[in-house]
């Protein structure tokens, strides 16, 4: 198979959660540009409709889905609906996530500041929601004997990160091992499970603080590349893990982090 064919997603159906903006939208856009029909899902009903409209206006095949990833029944119904409508689900991206607020290196976010309600909310979305999405995708992919599942982890899942909150670090650390565990579970059925671990990107997470120059500069000072990422820089990893180019990859987590984990 030639390289161009390896990355071609024509005729495939991909599902991306947390796709109304930021990295999720960039992933969906990359998959659509590679030829996939993309189902964009998000809790923000108006935002996800606008995101799908943007892709359709650009000539791509896309649809919107309002979805709360922390509701297992809703997530399983969503994957079943995609299968019933399109007859297939080739790639599922468990990307939906929220910030846990600033970490201790910002002067806030110390362990004694930890709020129980915030802790539960972040884990419910970032860990439980991701796991529910993996489960729902596996249910429709396993019988077909093929599929790709991609989970958004974080560099904060591999080490302590004083720039982000405790619940975020805890959830993303767990997500890394969900990827590994599910890859072992689903490998006999040719369902490949991998992850993407972004470093700091210019997105709306955390109330938009990553769009503030002082926040960007603070994160950039801790990176070898000395800048934060732009969402379009996640597209390549997304297309790789959805395509035949990753046919011998499972249980891997790709770092797209400006070198954050290199030192």
Residue 189: name the closest of 236, 224, 139 by CA: 139
Q: How long, in residues, is the chain?
A: 263
Question: Do 131 and 123 contact (CB within 8 A), yes or no?
Answer: no
Question: Do 69 and 96 contact (CB within 8 A), yes or no?
Answer: yes
Mean pLDDT of 230-251: 98
- pLDDT > 80? residue 214: no
**E-assigned strand segments in the chain:** 13-17, 37-42, 62-66, 91-94, 147-152, 191-198, 253-256
Domains of the chain: 3-257 (3.40.50.720)
Residue 159: strand, helix, or coil: coil
d(CA 240, CA 242): 6
* Average pLDDT value over all residues in the chain: 95
Q: 213 Cβ partners below 8 Å, 6+ apart?
A: none
Q: Would you tell me how many other CB atoms lie within 10 Å of the CB of residue 37?
A: 21
Q: What is the DSSP letter of 58?
A: T
- pLDDT > 90? residue 212: no
Mean pLDDT of 2-24: 96
Q: Which residues are catalytic?
A: 168
pLDDT at 208: 67
Q: Using alpha carbons only, how large is the chain's radius of gyration in Å?
A: 17
Instruction: For Cα atoms 164, 149, 192, give the angle at the middle one, nearest 5 degrees.
Output: 120
Q: Would you tell me how many other CB atoms lie within 10 Å of the CB of residue 232?
A: 12
Each residue's pLDDT tens digit, 142-199: 999 999 999 999 999 999 888 899 999 999 999 999 999 999 999 999 999 999 999 9
Each residue's pLDDT tens digit, 72-127: 999 999 999 999 999 999 999 999 999 888 888 887 889 998 999 999 999 999 99
Determine which helix (DSSP H) or strand (DSSP E) holds 67, and give its type and residue range.
Answer: none
pLDDT at 78: 98
Percent of the chain with pLDDT over 90: 84
The number of helix segments (H) and strand segments (E) in the chain equals 9, 7
Each residue's pLDDT tens digit, 26-75: 999 999 999 999 999 999 999 999 999 999 999 999 999 999 999 999 99
34 Cα distance to chain centroid: 18
pLDDT confidence tier of residue 206, bands split at 50, 70 and 90:
low
CB neighbour class for 66 (10 Å; exposed up to 12, middle 13-18, buried from 19): middle
Q: 83 Cβ partners below 8 Å, 6+ apart?
A: 89, 140
């Amino acid at each position: 198979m030639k390289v161009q064919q390896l990355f071609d997603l024509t005729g495939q159906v991909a599902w991306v959660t947390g796709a109304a903006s930021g990295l999720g939208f960039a992933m969906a856009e990359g998959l659509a540009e590679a030829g996939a029909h993309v189902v964009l899902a998000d809790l923000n009903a108006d935002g996800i409709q606008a995101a799908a409209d943007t892709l359709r206006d650009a000539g791509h095949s896309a649809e919107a889905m309002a979805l709360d990833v922390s509701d297992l029944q809703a997530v399983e119904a969503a994957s079943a609906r995609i299968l019933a409508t399109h007859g297939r689900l080739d790639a599922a991206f468990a990307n939906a996530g929220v910030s846990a607020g600033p970490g201790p290196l910002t002067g806030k976010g110390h362990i004694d500041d930890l709020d129980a309600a915030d802790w539960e909310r972040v884990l419910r979305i970032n860990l439980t929601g991701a796991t529910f999405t993996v489960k729902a995708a596996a249910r429709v992919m396993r019988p077909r004997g093929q599929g790709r599942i991609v989970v958004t982890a974080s560099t904060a899942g591999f080490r302590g990160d004083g720039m982000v909150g405790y619940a975020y670090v805890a959830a993303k650390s767990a997500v890394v091992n969900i990827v590994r565990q599910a890859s072992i579970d689903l490998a006999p059925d040719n369902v490949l499970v991998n992850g993407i671990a972004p470093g700091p990107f210019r997105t709306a997470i955390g109330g938009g603080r990553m769009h503030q120059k002082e926040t960007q500069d603070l994160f950039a000072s801790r990176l070898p590349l000395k800048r934060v990422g732009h969402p379009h820089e996640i597209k390549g990893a997304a297309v790789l893990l959805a395509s035949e180019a990753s046919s011998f990859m499972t249980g891997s987590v790709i770092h797209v982090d400006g070198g954050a984990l290199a030192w």
